[in-house]
Chain A
Amino acid sequence: MVKGKNEKEDIEIDAITSKGVEFGYGEQPVLFDITFTIKKEEFVAITGPNGSGKTTLLKLILGILQPRKGEIRVMGYSTKERDKIMNLIGFMPQKEHISSNFPILVRDVVMLGLGARKGIMKPTGKADEEEGIQAIKSVGLDEEIWMEKFAELSGGQQQRVLLARALAIKPEILLLDEPFNGVDIPSQNKILDLISDLRKKGVTVLLVVHNVNPLLHHIDKIMLLKNRIVAFGKPDEVLTDKNLISAYGASIPIIYCEEGYAHPVYSDIHG
């Protein structure tokens, strides 16, 4: 989206590279042998069963956690250089982890993101507010929503406000954690359309989802995790019976839709 932000731009740099990464909270590793490359402008879904390390991988990419072996680079920078990568990544957390039992307005939510990027103790001004409103419009929300209480919006609107907060800082990489939980189908489609637009503008998009079905027709690649990478590639190459068994420990029926995409029918395999 923003060119020239990164002095390493001239050489073709991959968005995210991971080499031999291992991470664990105790002795047992949550993730091991994680090696992959995500190219610029790719749209990738990370999926796998509960406890497979999906969210841990996101935290490693954000530099919140550091690998105990190996290295992750974001636009060429090691995740140890958090100040550098913070400015490149927009993050949208799981809505369920948010507590809005107080009259925080949409404006407050979006401005927190812009404020954090600017330096949390510095004041934000009119120009920042203008950027915030632009971000709200860019996710297809009405400008009037700016002064409304976040808690009183629908699940889909809340999710889009959080997306606007991530986009307001004009990231080159967008990380979304379970963006479709508690979001109605029209809102899902709006978010997907928006992501397609962003990719055209050069943004790399990475999503963590427990169910890939709503995304299948849009994504370039799927990473199937089960504490290691079971498979990483085009959806049809990844969603095979063999891979699904090794990730989920059970056979998952696959349905082919009219357009020829393989859709896993998870039923109650998921928690």
Chain B
Amino acid sequence: MPDMEISEVLVQPYMLRAIAGIILIAINASVAGSFTIFRNVSFLVAGASHSALAGAALFILLGVYGFPANPLIGALLFAIATAFVAGYASKEETNTAIGISFAMSMSLAILFISMIREYAAKVWSLLIGDLFLLTYEDLYLITFVTFLSLMIALLFYKAFLFISFDSEGATAFGLNTRRYNYLLLSLIAISAVMLLKGVGAILVFAMLVAPAAASNELASNLRDVFIYAFIIALVSGFVGIAISFFFEVSPGAIASLLATTIYFFSLLARRFRGD
């Protein structure tokens, strides 16, 4: 690769797809990531992305048995199921409920993989992910879903904010808190699935939660949380691609490493600022 000019590399289809992938990831990290922090459900991102693996494995298994279906659809269904389990559980039990459905999904994922050993690599690729292996079909789906969640977040922005801040008050002021809660948790779970192919289930948490967590420390108002989260995710992603071009390492790993490092520095910055 390094014998090509930079300008040549930048227009390679796989590179363009990776760049588009990063931009879409940054939008999800801004919208769903920020609401994950506001609603205080970061564990849902870990739970949903791993549950998604079981869904993908199941759909790959179905394909082997003659029912072809896109594994990402299976991933979406399982992630949304986790969101509903989290929404159904009471506030104190949310994390336990997510953890148990996380564990159950991983058991199912491993069970399904053991039944289709020859296709196991397909499932494992979702565990690790690769920005350079995104297909046009993946990108179309991710673009469509990201656009849809952006619209939902804009439309229900105030309701999502109200239930995150004060769900009791939101109910008293006449909001259907339960319904908005399910919708918001599903939105977060769906975003987690959108990052699956690009960065893999293991690193979804880092790319979806860390940028918003960092910007939440730095921002002085809500709008800035969304803007900074977008910038942090975008810069992390581009640096990941750039470094992986010169050294043969995973771009997702570099991006996640950078995003999580920025979080720790933002914590320090806030301490030093003294608030």
A residues near B (Cβ < 8 Å) are: 62, 64, 82-83, 86, 89, 91-94, 97-105, 108-109, 112-113, 115-117, 120-121, 149, 152, 162, 165, 175
Contact = CB atoms under 8 A, between A and B. Distances in A.
A116 B173 contact: yes
Residue among A104, A108, A112, A175 with max Cβ neighbours from chain B (10 Å): A112
B5 interface: no
Say what secondary structure dominates the interface of chain B. helix
Interface stretch (B134-142, B193-201, B217-225): B217-225
B164 interface: yes
A91 B165 contact: no
A112 B161 contact: yes
Max chain B Cβ within 10 angstroms of own Cβ: one of A91, A97, A102, A165? A102
A15 B262 CA distance: 55
B158 A115 contact: yes
- For chain A, what secondary structure do more than half of its interface residues adopt (helix, strand, loop), or is it mixed? mixed
A97 B162 contact: no
Contacts of A86: 173-174
Nearest to A94: B168
Contacts of B161: 104, 108, 112
Interface string B29-44: 0000000011010000
Given A62-B172, A86-B173, A113-B173, A120 B158 contact: yes
B93 interface: no
B165 A98 contact: yes
B169 A104 contact: no
Interface in B37-83: 37-38, 40
B145 to A, nearest CB: 22
Given A102-B225, A105-B221, A116-B162, 19 more contacts: A64-B172, A86-B173, A91-B173, A92-B169, A94-B168, A98-B165, A101-B216, A103-B224, A103-B225, A108-B161, A109-B165, A112-B162, A112-B165, A112-B170, A112-B173, A113-B169, A116-B158, A121-B159, A149-B220
Q: Which of A82, A83, A109, A116 has the most CB of B within 10 A?
A: A116
Nearest to B172: A91
Nearest to A118: B158
A152 B174 contact: no
A162 B221 CA distance: 19
B74 to A, nearest CB: 32
B217 to A, nearest CB: 9
A113 B165 CA distance: 12
B188 to A, nearest CB: 15
A19 B222 CA distance: 45
Nearest to B91: A97
> When A and B form their complex, which 5 residue pairs have the shortest distance between CB atoms, in order from nearest?
A91-B172, A116-B173, A86-B174, A93-B168, A93-B169
23 contacts: A62-B171, A89-B172, A91-B173, A92-B169, A94-B168, A97-B166, A98-B165, A99-B40, A101-B37, A102-B216, A102-B225, A103-B220, A104-B161, A104-B222, A112-B158, A112-B170, A112-B173, A116-B158, A116-B174, A121-B156, A149-B220, A149-B221, A162-B169
